């Protein structure tokens, strides 16, 4: 029995790999995370466009920060594993679809952990997906980092010192994930470190509602999954 985490990109069905699509079509059942049982998540929406004959089994995952958020996600993952175990059978092939990539800030790792505990011998596999920040960077068509420039990937909902450390290195490219309610703080830090002119914000990337704007022009309220990219400072001379 095998459960594969399948990355379906940021939201554009055209950015899903052939390997991902083949896995989805071959799976005995496809599981998809959602914020509520009554509404499809974005990963499920991508599957519906690419493979309309495939029915996704919806598993609910809350979005939250801090210890409380982690505990809620772990509880949701345990409940998802139970739900999935009732469907999965020995020797079967199953897929869990997720936005972006299953190995980076994804619900899949927790699901896989609890599913293996519930189903001993379960094989876990991953098919990578394009990340939202890659979609955002592709719109500029130029290198984000080059030569020996470092790249920092941090969370908007994370610790201030992580953001400050990343922004403080003007040679570094910075990607900030899960911006949400932290946008005002990110704007302030970008100004303080002289990085706002190099910063772009985007959300609903790859969808028909995609928004991409300079960071300082972004509204004070943006979706939880909004992304900010800040280019290295390349001063002449």
Q: Give the pLDDT of residue 36.
A: 80
- State the residue for tokens 């409380």: 68
Q: Provide the 8-state DSSP code for 104.
A: S
Mean pLDDT to the nearest integer, 122-130: 97
Q: pLDDT of 70-103, one tens digit each? A: 788 788 889 889 999 999 988 899 999 999 999 9
Phi, psi (degrees; rounded to nearest 5) at 57:
-90, 115
Percent of the chain with pLDDT over 90: 70
Residue 222 has pLDDT above 70, yes or no: yes
- State the residue for tokens 């098919």: 127
More confident residue, 63 or 41: 41
Spatial strand order in the sheet of 93-98:
56-60, 29-34, 93-98, 2-7, 123-127
pTM over 0.85: yes
Residue 237 has pLDDT above 60, yes or no: no
Residue 56 has pLDDT above 90, yes or no: yes
Band of residue 208 on the pLDDT scale cut at 50, 70, 90:
confident
Q: Give the pLDDT of residue 68.
A: 55
Q: Give the pLDDT of residue 107.
A: 85
Q: pLDDT of 134-159, one tens digit each? A: 999 998 777 899 999 999 999 998 88
Q: How far apart are CA 9 and CA 97, in angstroms?
A: 10
Domains of the chain, start order: 2-127 (3.40.1010.10), 132-230 (3.30.950.10)
Query: Is 8 within 8 Å of 108 (Cβ atoms)?
Result: no
Band of residue 106 on the pLDDT scale cut at 50, 70, 90:
confident
Query: Is 8 within 8 Å of 33 (Cβ atoms)?
Result: no
């Amino acid at each position: 029995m095998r459960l594969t985490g399948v990355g379906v990109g940021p939201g554009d069905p055209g950015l899903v790999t052939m390997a991902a699509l083949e896995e989805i079509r071959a799976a005995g059942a496809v599981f998809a995370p959602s914020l509520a049982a009554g509404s499809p998540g974005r990963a499920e929406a991508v599957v519906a466009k690419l493979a309309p004959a495939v029915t996704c089994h919806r598993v609910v995952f809350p979005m939250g920060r801090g210890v409380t958020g982690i505990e809620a996600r772990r509880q949701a993952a345990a409940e998802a594993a139970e739900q999935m175990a009732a469907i999965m059978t020995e020797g079967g092939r199953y897929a869990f679809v997720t936005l972006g990539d299953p190995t980076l800030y994804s619900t899949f790792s927790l699901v896989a952990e609890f599913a293996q505990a519930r189903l001993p011998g379960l094989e876990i596999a991953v098919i990578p997906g394009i990340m939202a920040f890659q979609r955002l960077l592709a719109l500029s068509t130029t290198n984000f980092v080059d030569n020996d420039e470092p790249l920092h990937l941090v969370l908007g909902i994370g610790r201030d010192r992580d953001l400050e450390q990343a922004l403080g290195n003007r040679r570094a490219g910075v990607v900030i994930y899960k911006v949400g309610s932290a946008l005002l703080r990110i704007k302030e830090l970008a100004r303080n470190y002289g990085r706002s002119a190099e910063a772009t914000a985007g959300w609903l990337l790859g969808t028909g509602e995609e928004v991409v704007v300079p960071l300082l022009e972004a509204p004070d309220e943006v979706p939880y999954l909004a992304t900010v990219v800040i280019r290295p400072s390349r001063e002449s001379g």
